[in-house]
Amino acid sequence: MRVTNAVLPGRSEPVTIVTEGGRITAIKESPGVGAPGEEVIDAAGRTVLPGLVNAHAHIDKTLHGGPWVSAPQVETVAERVAHERRHRDTHGLPSREYVASLVEAMVVAGTTHLRTHTDVDPGVGLRGITAVAEVARRYEGVIDIQQVAFPQGGLITNPGTLPLLRDAVEAGASVIGGLDPAGFDDAPNAHLEAVFDLAASTGTGIDIHLHDGGSLGAWEMGLIARMTREYDLGGRVAVSHAFGIAHPPTQAALLERFAEAGVALVSAAVYDAPVPPLRACAEHGVLLAGGTDGINDLWGPFGDGDMLRRAMLIAYRNSSRSDDELMLALDAVTTNAARVLGIEDHGLTVGGPADLVVVDARSAAEAVARVPGRDLVIRSGRVVARDGALVGAEGGNAPPH
Ligand SMILES: [Zn+2]
C-alpha cells in the first residue's frame, strides 16, 4: 500500500508512506511509483495519525447499541458499584452484543489497541472475562484488546475475589487491577500487597483505579511508587484517574517518584474530577496516557469510544491552547498509551506497524482541537474502516457478528 500526500504529526510537508507486510517500509517526500497492483491512497494533504490507543475502558459493562437505561444521580463510587451489582443481571450484562457494538465504534474511530478493566467478583465470576475474550477473538487483526482483571466490588472486603483474579489471568487477563485501596477497600496495605504479590507471581502488569483524592490519594501513590521499586515492576505499573495527583503540596515530589519508579498515569478526563497535568508529566518524564473509562453503562450515560475526542477533553481540561500542548494530548492517546500497554514499536516510523488513521485536518494539532471524522482507518496495511463504517460490513472482510 502507498499513502501519498500525507501530513504527519510534527511535519508540515506532505510525504508518501509505503507499507508492506503490515509494516511501514518507507516514508519519503516523493510519491514514487507503486508496484503493479499496489493499492494507492491519495490523502490529499490531510493528516495521518498513528493508530489511536485507549488505555482505560470498561467494555464489559457497556450498554452500547442497546436500549436507553437511565443511570442514577449518586455521588460516590460505592453507591455506583452497589447500583451496578443490583441491576447488571436485569440488563443482561455483560453482553457480547453490546461489547461488540462498542468495539466496532472504537475501530471506526481509529482505535487499534485497547486496555479494558473487566469486573471479576464472586457474583459475575469470569463471565465478563470470557465475553470480552470472545469478542476480542472476533476482531483479531483489527483491534488488539488487553484485559485487566478488575476487583470492582473490592478485594480484601469481598472474600473470594482474589482467587478469581488468579483464575482470570489463566483465562487470558494480562494485568491485575485494584480499586481505592484505602477509600473503597479500607485496607491499603493488604490490598496493595495482594495486587503486587499476584502480579509478581503471574508475570502480569498492574493498573490501579485511584479515585481517592487529596493527601489520602497522594499517600497511596507514594506507597505504589515504593512497592513498584520493591517488586521490581518498573514500567509495568499504572495508576488510573489519580485524582490525588492534583494535590498541590505533593505533586512535583510524586511525579519525581513516579518517574524514578516507572509508574505511569492514565486519565479519562472524567466529569469535573482532577486531570493529571500534561506539561508537568512530560517535563518529569512520567507517561500520561488517555482512556475513555466507562461508556454508556450503569455508571453514567456518556461516551462514544472516540479517542481523538478524549485527547481534546484532556487538552481542554488542561487549559491547553498552543499546538505544542495539543500535541502532548495526542501523545497521551498514541505513543504514551501504547507504552503503558507494553507496545514498544507504536508510531509512524519506518519499520513500525502500518496502523494509520486519515483525518480531515491540516495538522495533528487541528485534529485534536476540531475532532474531525475518521476518513480511513488502516490496520497492518489494510483498510478496516472508511467514513465511520467498517469496510466490508456488507459481506466483505469485516469480522463476522
Ligand atoms: Zn475505570
What DSSP element (H or E) covers 379?
strand 374-379
d(CA 29, ligand 1 centre) in Å: 42
CA of 258 to the centre of ligand 1 (A): 20
In DSSP terms, which residues pair with 290 in a beta bridge? 267
Report how far ligand 1's centroid is from the alpha carbon of 140 (Å). Answer: 24
User: Would you tell me how many other CB atoms lie within 10 Å of the CB of residue 262?
Assistant: 18
DSSP strands (E only) in 51-122: 52-57, 111-119
Distance 150 CA to ligand 1 centre (A): 9
Q: Which of 80, 81, 89, 229 is nearest to 155 (CA)?
A: 81
Q: How far is the CA of 118 from the centre of ligand 1 (A)?
A: 9
Query: What is the CA(44)–ligand 1 centre distance, in A?
Result: 38
CA distance 332 to 330: 5
Give the containing element (helix H, strand E) for 382. Answer: strand 382-386
Residue 139 is placed in which grid cell? 476482531
- How far is the C-alpha of 16 from the C-alpha of 2, rounded, in Å? 7
Q: How far is the CA of 377 from the centre of ligand 1 (A)?
A: 26
Distance 98 CA to ligand 1 centre (A): 18
Distance 383 CA to ligand 1 centre (A): 30
242 alpha carbon to ligand 1 midpoint, in Å? Answer: 11
CA 241 / ligand 1 centre spacing (Å)? 8
Say how many Å lie between the CA of residue 375 and the centre of ligand 1.
29
Q: Within 10 Å of residue 116's Cβ, how many Cβ atoms?
A: 29
Distance between CA 174 and CA 10 in Å, rounded? 33
Look at residue 139 in the predicted model and tell me its pLDDT: 98
Query: Which segments of the chain belong to CATH 3.20.20.140?
Result: 52-340
101 CA distance to ligand 1 centroid (A)? 19
Please list the alpha-helical segments (H only) found in 88-172: 96-108, 127-138, 161-170
User: Which class is 52-340 in CATH?
Assistant: alpha beta
Q: How far is the CA of 351 from the centre of ligand 1 (A)?
A: 33
Specify the pairing of strand 389-390 against strand 382-386. Answer: antiparallel
**CATH homologous superfamily, domain 2-50+347-388:** Urease, subunit C, domain 1 (2.30.40.10)
The rounded Å distance from CA 293 to ligand 1 centre is 5
The environment of the single-atom ion ligand 1, i.e. residues with CB closer than 5 A, is 293
The tens place of each residue's pLDDT in the chain, 401 residues long, gives 999 999 999 998 999 999 999 999 999 998 888 889 999 999 999 999 999 999 999 999 999 999 999 999 999 999 999 999 999 999 999 999 999 999 999 999 999 999 999 999 999 999 999 999 999 999 999 999 999 999 999 999 999 999 999 999 999 999 999 999 999 999 999 999 999 999 999 999 999 999 999 999 999 999 999 999 999 999 999 999 999 998 888 999 999 999 999 999 999 999 999 999 999 999 999 999 999 999 999 999 999 999 999 999 999 999 999 999 999 999 999 999 999 999 989 999 999 999 999 999 999 999 999 999 999 999 999 999 999 999 975 444 455 44
Question: Ligand 1 centroid to 56 CA: how many Å?
Answer: 6
Q: How far is the CA of 30 from the centre of ligand 1 (A)?
A: 45
Distance 138 CA to ligand 1 centre (A): 24
Ligand 1 centre to CA of 294 (Å) is: 6
**CA 6 to ligand 1 centroid distance, Å:** 35
Residue 372 CA, ligand 1 centroid: distance in Å: 26
Ligand 1 center–CA 270 separation, angstroms: 10
Cα of 7 from ligand 1 centre, angstroms: 34
How far does residue 290's CA lie from ligand 1's centre (Å)?
Answer: 11
Residue with C-alpha cell 480531515? 360
